[in-house]
Amino acid sequence: MPEIRFVKLSPAALSALVEGDLAAASAAAGIALSQYLVDENWLWEIRLEQIRSDPASLDWIARAAVAEPEGVVVGHGGFHGPPDADGVVEVAYSVDPAFRRRGYARAMLAALLARVDADPLVTAVRASIRPDNAGSRATIAGFGFKKVGEQWDPLDGLEDVYLRPAAR
């Protein structure tokens, strides 16, 4: 499995991504970011608003995913926010289409799960996946997720909800 390192995206980097300024975003992040991250500007707008209302969420939200040892940004991953009142975080990750089908999604997920497994505040990890998203369902397979229900997402429609207890 490839190795993934996550790079936190500061509000300055997120703002530059929203504005479409790849050079400024890369300078703020301290690493060469990708056009794919610029193309995800809708997400960075949401995360900037989230940081404004809850600065602590910066430590949990999406980060640039860097494949090592190549040092290339292959996507982004993180969580929807800090643990909720029950200690649950929702995982999120996305691989640049140019790098798909090389094991990066599983590597991102493994790295994200290792982070939460080491955090005593986290009791469980949630994943919400559209029923027709076979790739995402395959990515979480083998990581201990169990389907616990369904939900309606305003952007994605019907989603299956999976939960995995934090491993200690």
Predicted TM-score of the model (pTM): 0.93
- pLDDT exceeds 90 at position 91: yes
Q: Among 49, 54, 44, which residue's Cα sits nearest to residue 24?
A: 44
Beta bridge partners of 63: 77
Tell me, what's the pLDDT at 62?
A: 82
Per-position b or e across 66-82, b if 16+ CB within 10 A of its CB: bbeeeeebbbbbbbbbb
Tell me, what's the pLDDT at 3?
A: 95
- pLDDT exceeds 80 at position 59: yes
Give the pLDDT band of residue 156 (cuts 50, 70, 90). confident
Q: Are 17 and 44 in contact (CB under 8 A)?
A: yes
Domain boundaries, the chain: 3-165
Tell me, what's the pLDDT at 158?
A: 94
Give domain 3-165's CATH architecture: 3-Layer(aba) Sandwich (3.40)
Site of tokens 């790098």: 99
Structure tokens at 123: 């009791």
